[in-house]
Structure 1
Amino acid sequence: MPAIKQYSKKDGSKAYMYSLYVGTDPLTGKPKRTTRRGFATKKEAALSLSRLQLEIEKNGSLVRRNDTATFEDVYLLWLDQYKNNVKENTFRQTKYTFRDYILPHLGELRIEKITVQRCQKAVNTWSGQIGMYKTIKNYASSIFKYAISLGICSDNPMAKINIPAKKKVVSSVDEKKIDFYSRDELQHFMWCLEKENELKKIAFFRLLAFTGARKSEVLALNWEDVDFTNKRLNIYKTLAIGEKGVIVNTPKTKTSKRNITLDDRTLDILRKWRIEQKKVYFALGFNTSHKTQPVFTNQYNRHIRPGSVIYWMRSIVKKYAVKEIKIHEFRHTHCSLLFESGASIQEVKERLGHANIEITMNVYAHVTKNQEEATAERFAQYMNM
């Protein structure tokens, strides 16, 4: 017989409660209990308990049966095992995808009763909201597959829908244009940056422009990753946003791990920044002399959130009216200027850690396209006729 217990409420008054086993959860196979509280007298609690026991005796269980499980019920079970197979930032992004797109359409529906028509309507809506609608559709499909494996439903309606075609917008502007700084534009940007006399920012943008590293790779660097003797930089980790803030991750692909050369001017800027960092952060109460000290940190000597450096860029753009490009486009800048300096496609691919040659070729094609206009004139001048 379940015990009825007295407890104290927040306001100091007394009340009664009980806990009762109500059956086995068919989704998890685990026993489930229900707790009822807030009864003014022990007699009221006992009466409620008796009624609940009669209901269990009549129906066999109070636990929801498999055929009444909702899409969200199965999603929560799937999410529990999914988190063990992906990186923390991927897990976080996946949860947001379900929260913002999938659950509003399917979450409350009984998964066994969800039709192809309902799934088609959801996918049609997603296609009008976001470019990654195919990925969202695949996430939703994973829940149906998981439900089938658990014996909760027998069909995957998401596998039977028609994928909407992406609408092509006819425009005179090339929407896939790869933007970056020219040699002169980069020199001007760095000149403006040096006028601000903030070594941390100078070092950050210098590394972006002269190594082609991603901002999350640069922000993840420790001083031990900078080999001043052999003039090399070891890139093997990246920053991301996890469930509880900034985390250090391994790169997404094997080719992202690389050891590249550094020029003398970049090394000199890094040396000066390291000296200044020690002085500034010592005054704040931090010892930054150890090798595992991050190269770039905030006022609390913690990793800088990747999104914060956007404001560094915008402050320069606003103050000096320079051309604005995205932070990632410093990587394109390095790539294009490497080609202009005579580097081979393979050299550029390895230095930037591209997973395949196609990514490198996209920038190469854009650079060579910009050079086409001068080809005929150069030939005519060479022939002198």
Structure 2
Amino acid sequence: MKGYFRKHGDTWSFTIDIGMDDLTGKRKQKTKTGFKTKKEAQKAAALLITELEQGIYVEEKKITVKDFMLDWLENVARHNVKPSSFVSYKSIVQTRIIPVLGKYHLTGLKPAIVNNFYTYLLKDENLSEEYVGTVHAVLGTAFNTAVKWEYIKSNVFKKVSKPRKKKKEMQTWSFEEARNFLEYAKKGKRHYYMLYLLAIYTGMRRSKILGIRWSDVNFETGKIGVKRTLYYTSEQGIIVQSTKNSQSMRSISISDFVLDELKQHKVWQLERKLQFNIPYYEESYITANETGDPLSPSHVYGHFSKAVKNAGIKKIRFHDLRHTHASLMLLLGEHPKIVSERLGHSSIEMTMNTYSHVTFYMQKESSNRFEEALKKTN
């Protein structure tokens, strides 16, 4: 296999036969131009010939980031991620990636361009490091597919680091704040009260609580089985999915108080079923609304924000109820392994890293108790 070299003005080029076209049966050639010297052209040609002989040559495809990302969304992402994740991916691609990077060819996307893109998102768009990290993950995953499809030789996003996530101060409630909020919430709609009660007393995520059915509650053992999640997407509405991994599919112990509240709530649902013919059944959701339908996750955010404001409690996110549960459990001296299991964390290290601020306080308290105990022995 030989290369054909030509000089055009001040630059050199080479042409190499790379085989036959499967569709037309005609000879295919590869030409590269722009070399300053013949020696540079010969070196590049030799590298290309080696790739061809070893069977590792990839004829990079001239396709734009926009066309590829839309193709990847519909033919890969849609079938391989959760519907809620797909909605997030689609939004990122359409609103963040395509407007800025869509015009580039896959082969023309270089590390410097990507770094400038991330800087633009952080400074001009005022997006968080965490969000830009998600953008980086979506692009990296998509470009892995581009490599598999032999559109490009390598993934440029493996040469670029995502922005370092800044650690934010965690917002949680005290025992008093949590108690006051629940007292206020109990005066309102019961299904929202039960949602907030379970969030504070178990540390479960919103999607997990919304997916709990009465058949998941074991009143004899005092445990709730976490078996599914309930999501909402603009395309498909409410979606229920089974929990797959071992950490998420678990049982959580609940206190006698929570059991009593669940029993009262079940009686309330049965009364409404008899009085208004509301379709509450054993397979109904605990947090089903007044008509017996699943409570939509999209309604929770607004209701929670308004309830916090009206209750006069420090403003936090719904997800911070999970952090509140964990922080208060640790402050009570509960073993981190137990807290880790309740939260469904993959390891105790993850729990300790997440709530290091609590354990720091606990160390101070522990050292004080040790000092007092030692003094008593004198």
TM-score, normalising length from structure 1? 0.70
Which amino acid is the alignment partner of residue 69 of structure 2?
Y
Pairwise CA distance, 1:99? 1.0
* Cα distance in 2 for residues equivalent to 1:335 and 1:185: 15
Query: Counterpart in 2 of 1:292?
Result: 283
Encode CA deviations 1:169-196: one digit per residue, 9 max, x unaligned. xxxxxx63223222233223223333x1
Pairwise CA distance, 1:247? 1.0
Q: How large is the Cα RMSD of the aligned pairs?
A: 3.2
Query: Counterpart in 1 of 2:161?
Result: 163
Pairwise CA distance, 1:92? 1.5
Query: Is 1:241 aligned with 2:240?
Result: no
* Cα distance in 2 for residues equivalent to 1:323 and 1:202: 18
Work out whether residues 127 and 166 of structure 1, in 8 Å CA contact, stay in contact via their aligned partners in 2.
Answer: no
Pairwise CA distance, 1:295? 0.9
Pairwise CA distance, 1:263? 1.7
Query: Counterpart in 2 of 1:255?
Result: 247
Query: Counterpart in 1 of 2:294?
Result: 303
4+ runs deviating over 6 angstroms: none
Query: Is 1:354 aligned with 2:352?
Result: no
Pairwise CA distance, 1:281? 5.1
Pairwise CA distance, 1:379? 6.2
Work out whether residues 134 and 163 of structure 1, in 8 Å CA contact, stay in contact via their aligned partners in 2.
Answer: no
Where does the alignment leave 5 or more consecutive residues of structure 1 unmatched?
1-28, 30-65, 169-174
Matches within 5 A, 1:149-298: 149-154=148-153, 156-160=155-159, 162-163=160-161, 166=164, 176-194=168-186, 196=187, 198-242=189-233, 243-251=235-243, 253-280=245-272, 285-288=277-280, 290-298=281-289
Which amino acid is the alignment partner of residue 251 of structure 1?
T
Aligned length in residues: 313
Work out whether residues 279 and 292 of structure 2, in 8 Å CA contact, stay in contact via their aligned partners in 1.
Answer: no
Calculate percent identity across the aligned residue pairs. Answer: 26
Matches within 5 A, 1:1-385: 68-79=62-73, 80-128=75-123, 129-131=127-129, 132-154=131-153, 156-160=155-159, 162-163=160-161, 166=164, 176-194=168-186, 196=187, 198-242=189-233, 243-251=235-243, 253-280=245-272, 285-288=277-280, 290-362=281-353, 364-371=355-362, 383=375
Which amino acid is the alignment partner of residue 149 of structure 2?
L
Pairwise CA distance, 1:222? 0.6
SS at match of 1:247: strand
TM-score, normalising length from structure 2? 0.71
Encode CA deviations 1:86-140: one digit per residue, 9 max, x unaligned. 2211122111111121111222334344445433432332343331324423433
Which amino acid is the alignment partner of residue 320 of structure 2?
E
Give the 3 Å change call, closer, same or farther, for CA 166–273 of structure 1 in structure 2.
Answer: same
Pairwise CA distance, 1:262? 2.0
Encode CA deviations 1:265-289: one digit per residue, 9 max, x unaligned. 211111111121233355554321x
* Cα distance in 2 for residues equivalent to 1:109 and 1:365: 43
SS at match of 1:179: coil
* Cα distance in 2 for residues equivalent to 1:314 and 1:82: 33
Pairwise CA distance, 1:333? 2.2
* Cα distance in 1 for residues equivalent to 2:113 and 2:370: 62
* Cα distance in 1 for residues equivalent to 2:161 and 2:199: 39
Pairwise CA distance, 1:373? 5.8
Which amino acid is the alignment partner of residue 310 of structure 1?
Y
* Cα distance in 1 for residues equivalent to 2:171 and 2:92: 29
* Cα distance in 2 for residues equivalent to 1:351 and 1:109: 47
